[in-house]
Amino acid sequence: MWKKLKVVALGSMVVMMATTTACGSNPKSSKLSAPTPNSPTQSGTGNTLTQSLSQSGSNVIQSGNDDAVLPIKVINNVNYVAASELIQTLKFQSDWDAANQKLLIGDNDANYELTVNSTKAMKDGSDIQVSQPFIKEGDTTYVPVSALSDLFQEDMSFEISKNQLKIHPSPVAPIESEDAADPSGRTNELGFGEDPQDPFKGVKKNESPVSNNLLLENELQVWSPLGQDQVVPVLKNVDVNAMIDKGEQYLGVKYKFGTGPYPETGKFDCSTFTQYVYGKYGIKLQRLARQQAAQGTLVSRKTLRKGDLMFFYVPGRFKSNKTVGHVGIYIGNMQMLHASPEPKNGVQISNIDKAYWKATFLRAKRIVY
């Protein structure tokens, strides 16, 4: 279903470009002027616009077929959408980096960095170029419509029609919070399980069965590059219980979206926390949860071991349920250590034997053995 909708979205983008003139908090929404008329890109999708989705001052509306509809604004003959309205609709977080004139966007870490007055952006840790610049008017940053596919096609299903960006809802209603009930009643079959062969299961902390073979932290050589964006572990002998102990020392440290390194900021987002804890044991994880999800060895939700990384999507009505938005460390007994803005703000331990975590789980990766 998603693949089909993405094809529709990309097709709509091509038609739109052919018919237009060439060329742990969210930013405040700003009332936009009416978009300059352009030629319509598709027909047969017009619906009565019935319900406001956003806070006062926003132009995001919901159509009769449940699409979220964002107005397109023409600036210097280029079609744009307000980043604040896109962020709000997708339930992303954001932050403004004034020093570098960048807008940071993402779930629980900053997957996107958009540089204002430039065609440069960062997506999932990689630099990309778009065809039209990101711009800022007042407090509002605008994203060129031509860049939406390059940036967000994995995060949403959309189309362009009649000077509007239409974002289609997810086919499955999300479970919005950790303590919310499962409306489908199907999450029991998605329960987690532990690997009975986990060498650290039942072992008291700081009493590792492999402690005699551990190397000093400053002697660990644990990563071997395979390319610019890919690394694999070459040393697997880590005291997992000691690593969990170290991670728990940071319980209560505040969460901050898109934060810098902990020694400089005193805060974590989800992926800087896992990166920092593993780094204490000489294991190099990449910066973002989506990047970390590509590392290590895939394991089943039924065979979890202490120290496994667990990856989840962050639910939203208009957002894909296939993209990684959060990462935590499995610490045994159906518990996960992670940095999150919710339900508490900061480093915390959560019980994953809940409908929310079962439904939003995407994969687990084993980094250490």
The residues annotated as belonging to the active site are 270, 326, 338
State how far the Cα of 68 lies from the Cα of 235, in Å rounded to an integer.
48
State how far the Cα of 226 lies from the Cα of 242, in Å rounded to an integer.
29
Residues in the chain, total: 369
Measured torsion, CA atoms of residues 167, 175, 289, 241, in degrees rounded to the nearest 10: 180
Q: Which helix (H) or strand (E) holds 171?
A: none
Provide the residue type at 350 as one letter: S
Q: Edge-to-edge, what's the strand order for the sheet holding 73-75?
A: 73-75, 78-82, 140-144, 126-137, 118-123, 110-115, 102-106, 93-97
Q: Which residues pair with 367 in a beta bridge?
A: none
Using H for helix, E for strand and C for coil, what is the string for 29-47? CCCCCCCCCCCCCCCCCCC
Question: How many other C-beta atoms are found inside a 10 Å radius of the C-beta of residue 249?
Answer: 11
* Kind of pairing between the strands at 326-332 and 309-312: antiparallel
Q: Which helix (H) or strand (E) holds 157?
A: strand 157-161
Question: 235 with 282: CB under 8 angstroms?
Answer: yes
